[in-house]
Structure 1
Amino acid sequence: MGKTIRVTVWNENRHEKIDKNVAKIYPKGIHGAIADFLSQEPDFEVRTATLDEPEHGLTKEVLDSTDVLIWWGHMAHNEVRDDVVDRVYDRVLNGMGLIVLHSGHFSKIFKKLMGTTCNLKWREAGEKERIWVVEPGHPIAEGLGEYFEIPQTEMYGERFDIPAPDTLVFISWFAGGEVFRSGCCYNRGRGKVFYFRPGHETFPIFYQPEVQRVIKNAVRWAAPVNGPVPTFGNVKPLENI
């Protein structure tokens, strides 16, 4: 058995409170649904945090004991405190993994890490999405076929205003004709960031086995490694000069 990976699943938890359809699909909240399937993995230690908790549930103590943070947000991005965003940002640069799901592309933390608007096209028509694996040797693609399909979802389309990914693992095609870079990996400082497109709140996407597989794989990929801590500034030479 390898090292335990400490996972915090963050969700703004607003749709579930105001939309009966979302509450019916996710009675424990989106964070609860994700935490449930992650908790089945023996090497994961899982907890949740939500927007309305003190400091959004992301205190220094919580983040210091988090190896991988999963982020789902949509309607309340602007309510996330900037000091908490800065705290998450610093932890990523110092090695914590971050997995951003679906509409989290517009979160303050993802935009801060990307340095762009992270804007895109969208359409809510319940159409089919076909997700193609374009990097089959990547750890996040382990256990998948060449593609998998989501029967009904919200469409996201290019142009997706993000920096070119360090590695692009998935590309999506939608029944309406659009395509989208739907699985994007980045290195930021000592930390790793993965953006995964699926997860619209009005469809039971987080119960789909392939989606769960991707998120589990991404947690293991994004977990910190015991690499060297870089030093900066003026240094003495290693050799005589």
Structure 2
Amino acid sequence: MNNKIKVTVWNEFVHERTMEEVKNVYPQGIHTVIASHLNKVGMEAVTATLDQPEHGLTEQTLDNTDVLIWWGHMHHHEVDDEIVEKVRRKVLAGMGLIVLHSGHNSKIFKKLLGSDCRLKWRESGDMERLWVVKPGHPIAEGIGDYIELEHEEMYGEIFDIPDPDELVFVSWFSSGEVFRSGCTFTRGKGKIFYFRPGHETYPTFYNEKVLRVIQNGVKWAKPLDISPIVFGHAGAVGQGGTYNL
């Protein structure tokens, strides 16, 4: 029996093919770097990209996915609304979702959170220090007090999201801004983790601690064995009532 956590890493995979400065950092794509690490630590990771049929997110792929990881940037508008709705239903049914960096502006993240998810940003190569503010959380396991990235794109508050269920990381940038960088949410039976770092021109996804956070996030977000959620008319408790959805 295969008990490995099944992960699909989704990426636009546009910048790596059209921008030399990005291709030099991630020649095979950000998604392959993340998936390779997850496979090395005993998970079963595959990849999907924007240009594939159904953006690589077919019904069969999603049925075989415990946790979906999402990286997007400039092409959010090209993601088909029907695919977004299909992913949303899967999350509500229990599939985990990890949204990375500029995925904050993706259709799926905004639809699940019900807000614009806007923020302040600046590409100036600031140093970023991600402080662990919930050290007992499983996503922070093995990280220590903080993660330090020599150069990253700055994201600053206000971050237009609902209050997170839990705040695991807070970033401080060398230019002075702060940002809620590790946020968890629950929607239906599904767990969602937003993790801020990961600008495409920096080697962030080669950082061992960043990869460890993603790895921890997958373990945290995997589906739990929870009874089906039912809605609609219900008979009295203990009297054998039926549910009509």
- Which secondary structure does the structure 1 equivalent of 2:153 belong to? strand
1:52-91 map, 5 Å: 52-91=51-90
Q: Which amino acid aligns with 1:4?
A: K
Cα separation, 2, equivalents of 1:155 and 1:139: 26
- Which secondary structure does the structure 1 equivalent of 2:218 belong to? helix
- Which secondary structure does the structure 2 equivalent of 1:203 belong to? coil
| Residue in 1 that maps onto 2:20 | 20
| Residue in 1 that maps onto 2:31 | 31
| Residue in 2 that maps onto 1:41 | 41
Cα separation, 2, equivalents of 1:51 and 1:75: 11
Q: Which runs of 5+ in 2 are unaligned?
A: 240-245
Q: What's the CA shift for 1:2? A: 8.9
Q: Deviation per CA, 1:141-180, whole angstroms, max 9, x where unpaired?
A: 0001111201000000000000000000000000110000
Q: What's the CA shift for 1:61? A: 0.9
Q: Which amino acid aligns with 1:140?
A: I
Q: Which amino acid aligns with 2:146?
A: Y
Cα separation, 2, equivalents of 1:76 and 1:174: 27
Cα separation, 2, equivalents of 1:170 and 1:70: 18
Length-normalised TM-score, structure 2: 0.96
Q: Deviation per CA, 1:24-80, whole angstroms, max 9, x where unpaired?
A: 1101100011111111012x1110000000000001111111000000000100000
| Residue in 2 that maps onto 1:190 | 189
| Residue in 2 that maps onto 1:109 | 108
Cα separation, 2, equivalents of 1:175 and 1:167: 25
Q: Taking structure 1 as reference, are residues 33 and 239 closer, same or farther at Cα in structure 2, changes over 3 Å only? A: closer
- Which secondary structure does the structure 2 equivalent of 1:39 belong to? helix
Cα separation, 1, equivalents of 2:99 and 2:10: 10
- Which secondary structure does the structure 2 equivalent of 1:140 belong to? helix
Cα separation, 1, equivalents of 2:52 and 2:2: 32
1:175-186 map, 5 Å: 175-186=174-185
**CA RMSD of superposed structures (Å):** 1.2
Cα separation, 1, equivalents of 2:218 and 2:119: 25
1:202-213 map, 5 Å: 202-213=201-212
Q: Which runs of 5+ in 1 are unaligned?
A: none
Cα separation, 2, equivalents of 1:135 and 1:28: 34
Q: Deviation per CA, 1:71-118, whole angstroms, max 9, x where unpaired?
A: 000010000000000000000000000000000000000000111110
